[in-house]
Amino acid sequence: AQKITQTQPGMFVQEKEAVTLDCTYDTSDQSYGLFWYKQPSSGEMIFLIYQGSYDEQNATEGRYSLNFQKARKSANLVISASQLGDSAMYFCAMREVEKVHNDMRFGAGTRLTVKP
Amino acid sequence: EAQVTQNPRYLITVTGKKLTVTCSQNMNHEYMSWYRQDPGLGLRQIYYSMNVEVTDKGDVPEGYKVSRKEKRNFPLILESPSPNQTSLYFCASSSGQGIPNEQFFGPGTRLTVL
């Protein structure tokens, strides 16, 4: 069963505007972590931000913030003041801490294009 | 510099010709894994290893083998590659402990099987 769902295959945003990338997840575990990675056209995977299931505050890292709504099981990434360099593929991922082998599950990704 | 390295970065091969993609990390991480990335499917785990000599199947292990003889190395072996294994492959490692315990990824290997 799909554990991470990213419903937006592609998104466009005007430079300097904010954009929200959606992510919903499915788990029955109480302890889990949510991650966002950026993949530019060069292909590498860059870790952006993390939210733990027990964290009461939404995570923030510079222009990135995570809008965590636990009851809705959503973990949307918000990028403020978009820049041309933000154009990339973005992946949401989850790790269920109690699982024995501690792996990550990824969504299908959202391709963000920032327009000048 | 802490990093995960993969070689080769690009490879074009033919059906049935055995190949190995190497992966090495210098962070003393216990946990390592291999993923393949395909359009519309995100990253799917092929194999993982929780420590030396401990490996197990992920979601899509068919057609692949791995070994973990040393902590730092985790090669991916395709004994008889087929065109449906054309993909972008990532090796990743993590400490397996603490928070956030994110995975560190290698640069990727783009494999084409003709």
- pLDDT, tens digit (0-9, with 9 covering 90-100), for A49-84: 999 999 989 999 999 999 999 999 999 999 999 999
Whether A65 and A76 have beta carbons less than 8 Å apart is answered as no
C-alpha span between B26 and B93 (Å, rounded): 10
> Whose CA is closest to A105, among A29, A39, A34?
A34
Task: Say whether B99 and A109 touch across the interface (CB within 8 A).
Answer: no
Give the pLDDT of residue A1.
56
Which residue type, as a one-letter code, is found at position A38? K
Contacts of B90 in chain A (CB under 8 A): 45
**pLDDT tens digit string along B69-105?**
999 999 999 999 999 999 999 999 998 776 677 889 9
Residues of B with CB under 8 A from a CB of A: 31, 33, 35, 40-45, 48, 50, 56, 58, 88, 90, 92, 94, 96, 99-105, 107-108, 110
A103 confidence band (pLDDT: 50, 70, 90): confident
Mean of pLDDT values over B59-66: 96
* pLDDT category of residue A87 using cuts at 50, 70 and 90: very high
| Interval B1-52: pLDDT, tens | 889 999 999 999 999 999 999 999 999 999 999 999 999 899 999 999 988 9
Q: Count the Cβ atoms, other than its own, within 10 Å of residue B51.
A: 13
Cis peptide before B8 (omega within 30 of 0): yes
